[in-house]
Structure 1
Amino acid sequence: MSADWSDDNTTILTELFVQQVRADNRPDKHLTQNAYEEVAKDFKVRTGLEYTKLQLKNKWDKLKTDYSNFRKLKLKETGGGWDYERNTIKQDVEWWKKAKIDIPGCGKFRKRGLQNENNLSIMFADITSDGTDHWNPASGTIPQSSSATSIFNVDDIQDVDLEETQTGESHADGNGKRLGRYVDGNNKKPKTSLVIQEQITRVGDIAERTQSSFESYMKKEESSSITSVMDLVVECGAIVGSDEYFIASELFVKREQREMFLHMTESAARLDWLRRKYNTKYGH
C-alpha cells in the first residue's frame, strides 16, 4: 500500500524515530533493522497503518533532506526577518528564486516552514552538514588548524643532516658544502636546524590554541542548541503542548531568542517570559 504521510502521521513517525535515536539504535546515518521493525509495529498501533521497512527508510531519508535544506535556508537568511506565523523566512520573490537555485528543494518552505523541527533536530543534527564546519570569524564557527607552511617555507631548508640535529654541529660533504643549515630568502646569515625546531614548537602552540578554541566553541554550541534549550523549557515548567511550550518552539529557531532565554537563570522568570511572549503575539 502507498504511504499516507499526512501531518499527523508524520509527527507520530518522527516521535517514534526519536525514541529509537535516544535508545542508541542509530549507529550511523540510519536506524538498525530491529529499530525500524519497532517503529513499524508502534506506528501500526497508533495509526492502524502497516508500512514496510523500505517505506519507513525512504521517509527517514526524505525528512533528513528536508531538515538539511531548512538549516541551509536559515543560514542563507540575511536581514529579511522571520515569519512567525508560517515559521519560515520572510523574503521577497527574487530572494526565493535565487534560494531555489542555491538549495534545490527549499521552495516548499516558502509558504510553510519545517514541521516537527525539534524531533528532526534530535534525529539528524549530529549527522547533517550545513557548511558551518569552516572557519568564519564573523559567524563564530569552528576554526581549522593553522597550516605550518604559513610559518616557514620548507623549500628554504637545505639537506638537513640528522647528525647535526643530534649534536648541534654542522658538517661538510666531500666538496666542502655545508649541510643542515637553514637559509632565508634574503641571503642573511645562515641559521642552524634549531630554527626548524623553534618553528615546529610554534606550530604545536598554534594547534593547542586551536584545540582550545574548538572545545570552547563546542561547549557553547551544545549549551545553546535547540534541543538543549527546549529541554530547559520543560524544566522551567512549560509542559509539552502548553502555550508556553508552543511559543518556545516558534521563538527558539532563532539563536538570539535562545540566548535571551538562557540569560535568565531562574525557572520562574523563564516561564513568565514565555507566557508573556505568547500573550503578546496571540493577544490572550
Structure 2
Amino acid sequence: MSMSAIEVSGEKVKVMWDKRLLEIFCDICIKEILKGNRPGTHFTKDGWLKIMTNFEKETGKAFSQRQLKNRWDALKKEWKAWKKLKGEDTGLGWNPIKRTVDALDDWWESRLKVVLEAQKFRTLGIDPEFEGKLD
C-alpha cells in the first residue's frame, strides 16, 4: 500500500491508498482522458473537478485536487521506474504469489544497477492487469 502526506489545517495526515482505491482512481482518470479532459500533459480544471466528484461518489472519500494530483504524480513516477526496470526485455514471467517479476537474481542485479529507484519492485511489482491501466 502506498501513502502520501497531505495537509489538513496545518497538520500532515496520511492518506491510505489501497489497491481498490488506486484502481477506481485510474479508471476515473482514464474516463476523463478519453473525454478529452487531458488535452496535453495536464488535466483541465473541469477534468480535475470531475475526477474529484466521481472519486468521492464511488469511494465515499473526499480528496482535494492536490491529494489526487500528488497520487497521480507518484503513480507516474513509479510507472516510469517500472517501465525502465523492465526495459526492452520480453518474456519476463509474473509470480502471482509474490506479486513480482519472475526473473533470475542475475537479471535483477544487472537491472537494479541501471534503475536504482526500482529496488522496491523486487518485493512488490505492478500487477500485469493494473499495468494496462497505467499504460
TM-score after normalising by structure 2: 0.75
Once the 2 structures are TM-superposed, how far is the Cα of residue 40 of structure 1 from its aligned partner? 0.9
Once the 2 structures are TM-superposed, how far is the Cα of residue 84 of structure 1 from its aligned partner? 4.4
Cα distance between partner residues in 2 of 1:27 and 1:78: 31
**In structure 2, what is the equivalent of residue 142 of structure 1?**
none
Q: Return the match for 2:132 from 113, 118, 122.
A: 118
**In structure 2, what is the equivalent of residue 83 of structure 1?**
94
Name the one with the larger strand percent.
2
Once the 2 structures are TM-superposed, how far is the Cα of residue 87 of structure 1 from its aligned partner? 5.7
2:16 partner SS: coil
**In structure 2, what is the equivalent of residue 21 of structure 1?**
33
Amino acid at match of 2:27: E
Would you say 1:34 and 2:81 are equivalent positions? no
Amino acid at match of 1:118: G
Amino acid at match of 1:83: W
- Compare CA radii of gyration and give the structure with the larger one: 1
**In structure 1, what is the equivalent of residue 15 of structure 2?**
3
Once the 2 structures are TM-superposed, how far is the Cα of residue 78 of structure 1 from its aligned partner? 6.9
Once the 2 structures are TM-superposed, how far is the Cα of residue 118 of structure 1 from its aligned partner? 1.5
Would you say 1:59 and 2:65 are equivalent positions? no
Once the 2 structures are TM-superposed, how far is the Cα of residue 41 of structure 1 from its aligned partner? 1.0
Q: Which runs of 5+ in 1 are unaligned?
A: 122-284
Q: Work out the number of aligned pairs and report it.
A: 120
Cα distance between partner residues in 1 of 2:111 and 2:62: 37
Cα distance between partner residues in 1 of 2:76 and 2:131: 11
**Pair 1:26–1:92, CA change in 2 (3 A):** same
Amino acid at match of 1:117: E
CA RMSD of aligned residues (A): 2.2
**In structure 1, what is the equivalent of residue 57 of structure 2?**
45
Amino acid at match of 1:42: N
Contact 1:25/1:35 (CA < 8 Å) preserved in 2?
A: yes
Q: Which runs of 5+ in 2 are unaligned?
A: 1-12
- Percentage of matched positions with identical amino acids: 27
**In structure 2, what is the equivalent of residue 70 of structure 1?**
82
Contact 2:95/2:102 (CA < 8 Å) preserved in 1?
A: no
Counterparts in 2 of 1:149-160, with a 5 A limit?
Answer: none
1:83 partner SS: strand
Amino acid at match of 1:68: K
Cα distance between partner residues in 1 of 2:47 and 2:90: 40
**In structure 1, what is the equivalent of residue 111 of structure 2?**
99
Cα distance between partner residues in 1 of 2:58 and 2:20: 11
Once the 2 structures are TM-superposed, how far is the Cα of residue 61 of structure 1 from its aligned partner? 1.1
Contact 2:85/2:112 (CA < 8 Å) preserved in 1?
A: no
